[in-house]
Amino acid sequence: MENKKRYERPVVLKQFSGFMNKFGSRPTTATRTEVDGIPVNELVEKYGSPLFVISERKIRENQRRANRIFKTRYPKVQFAWSYKTNYLNAVCSIFHQEGSWAEVVSGFEYDKARSLGVKGEHIIFNGPDKDKPALRRAISEGSKIHIDHFDELYDIIEIAAELDKKAIVAIRVNMDTGIYPKWDRFGFNYENGEAKQALRRIMTSPGLKLTGLHTHIGTYMMSVDAYKLAADKMVELAGWLKKEYDHILDYIDLGGGFPSNNTLNGQYLPAEQILPTLEQFADAITTSLLELPYPKDELPVLFLETGRALIDDAAHLISTVLAMKRLSDGRRAMIIDAGVNLLFTKFWYKHQITPAQDGGMMTEETAIYGPLCMNIDVMAESITLPVMKKGDKVVIDYVGAYDMTQWMQFIQMRPNVVMIMEDKSIELVREAESLEYLATNEKLPEKLRNFKI
């Protein structure tokens, strides 16, 4: 018995000749048996599968690096954590411990930040949907409201008068930065003069105090020039305010949008080979801002609402192979217990999926499907993997941004989320959902309670 050989499924692979891929292919026999120093099997044994695993160390490292990059180029920099990117309390709290403010885009997110202990004055309130109760709270707590449209501007004027309190505001500006698609649905347009029109209205409203300008030119931006252009236009607007009203701004907010190293669907080369570095983005932005016609000691604070680039690589999703099967054309297919219900970003990213155990040298082209009984649940159309079997584990990287906020309770419930702390202890930061949890808000009318089948 002890002399038996290690078993691996018998495999025959057809060799295809044809055009070579001039870039070669990624080595796919690599395995990842640990996540942030903790064995994958240990994590699954204790917390089940699928399982989101977040690294405290990595988040802090990312934020400190970003601080360093921007603060060595510009004297005043303040990050605000983008709640929508990942609003797990544990994640937000790390960013707040690192000194970041909160950037929220709804009344619910606003309340979440407040309940974590963030003061109103340290909240940036963005987004097109700020209802009156939320605005009332934001104005009375002195948070920075970034106005999206004229209807909101008039709501704020009205509430400020009602509360007899000055509302602290900025406007969101949209502009042509040469990128497609143009994000012109948020805020006031720069080119057609709407932004200046809104600023004029604010400057002549006694209940409003204009403290900043905000823009957010897009998401997963791959162009440094677009940020340079955006910063130039903000500088022009700030200069105009100074000239026209002798008004000095407290801050200029360049939003977020820096990409993570996750590779987009349809992108041929891995992201890290084609994306600009954070340093390049920082150079572009800060070079423009330093041109501001302000006295040097009155330069505005540069606000950044970076989300994705700070969290994406700090989280991983562990998943278990449920079954191996063949497709009609003979291709290998693998079903895993994590699908698009958990990985919403699958619709635009080609995530890196790595086996969590040693496989043989033989590799197979494999399609990976999630557990949903839905045709859309495709995790990878075709990926080269070593020979795998039911029960094996895979680790999916770059799942920190948007997955833990856009995930769906659909067919399956959302699983445990754990955080590996800096001292390598493991904390459960969000418990797996249960039927009871789901039923909490459901009401079943009396007449529907009984049936005979």
> Residue numbers of the site for another protein (CB under 8 A)?
4-15, 326, 330, 360-362, 387, 389
Tell me how far apart the alpha carbons of residues 316 and 355 are, in angstroms, rounded to a whole number. 13
Cα–Cα distance between 313 and 385 in angstroms, integer?
Answer: 22
Task: Give the shortest CB-21-to-another protein separation in angstroms.
Answer: 18
User: How near is the Cβ of 1 to another protein at its closest, in Å?
Assistant: 8
Are residues 259 and 309 in contact, defined by beta-carbon separation less than 8 angstroms?
yes
- Angstrom distance (rounded) from CA 90 to CA 419: 8
CA gap 93, 312 in Å, rounded: 16
Structure-token pair, residue 229: 């252009």
Q: Which is nearer to another protein, 9 or 243 (CB)?
A: 9
- Between CA 290 and CA 420 the distance in angstroms is 40
| Nearest-approach distance from CB 337 to another protein, in angstroms | 20
Rounded to a whole number of angstroms, the minimum distance from the CB of residue 367 to another protein is 15
Q: Give the side-chain half-sphere CA count within 13 A for 105.
A: 15
Pairing of strands 417-420, 51-55: parallel
In the complex with another protein, the residue whose CB is nearer, 116 or 324, is 324
Q: How far is the CB of 324 from another protein (least distance, A)?
A: 8
What residues does 395 pair with on adjacent strands? 318, 354
Q: What is the secondary structure of 181-208 as a DSSP string?
A: S---SSSEESTTSHHHHHHHHHHT-TTE
- Asked whether 300 and 231 are in contact (CB, 8 A), the reply is no
Q: Determine phi and psi for 322, rounding to 5 degrees.
A: -90, -35
118 vs 385, which CB is nearer to another protein? 385
CB of 19 to another protein, least distance (A): 17
Quick one: 12 or 453, whose CB is closer to another protein? 12
Least distance from another protein to the Cβ atom of residue 7, Å: 4
Which amino acid, residue 179?
Answer: I
For another protein, the closer of residues 253 and 364 by Cβ is 364
Smallest gap, in angstroms, from Cβ of residue 3 to another protein?
Answer: 9
Nearest CA among 197, 191, 148 for reference residue 170? 148
Question: Which residue lies nearer to another protein by CB, 13 or 411?
Answer: 13
Give me the least distance between CB of 329 and another protein, in Å please.
10
Q: What is the distance between the alpha carbons of residues 395 and 379, in angstroms, rounded to a whole number?
A: 12
Of the candidates 98, 52, 46, 32, which has an alpha carbon nearest to the alpha carbon of residue 342?
Answer: 52
Nearest residue to 403 via CA among 337, 352, 347, 353: 347
Nearer to another protein, 219 or 384 (CB): 384
The residues facing 169 across adjacent strands are 145, 210
User: What one-character DSSP code corresponds to residue 52?
Assistant: E
Based on CB atoms, which residue is closest to another protein, 1 or 448? 1
Instruction: Decide whether 7 or 451 has the Cβ nearer to another protein.
Output: 7
Minimal distance in Å, beta carbon 253 to another protein?
Answer: 57
Of 118 and 321, CB closest to another protein: 321
Query: What is the C-alpha to C-alpha distance for residues 175 and 233, in angstroms, rounded to an integer?
Result: 8
Q: Which is nearer to another protein, 178 or 360 (CB)?
A: 360
DSSP 348: T
CB of 360 to another protein, least distance (A): 6
Q: What is the DSSP letter of 275?
A: S
Contact status, residue 218 vs residue 180, Cβ threshold 8 Å: no
Cβ neighbours around 57 below 10 Å, total: 16
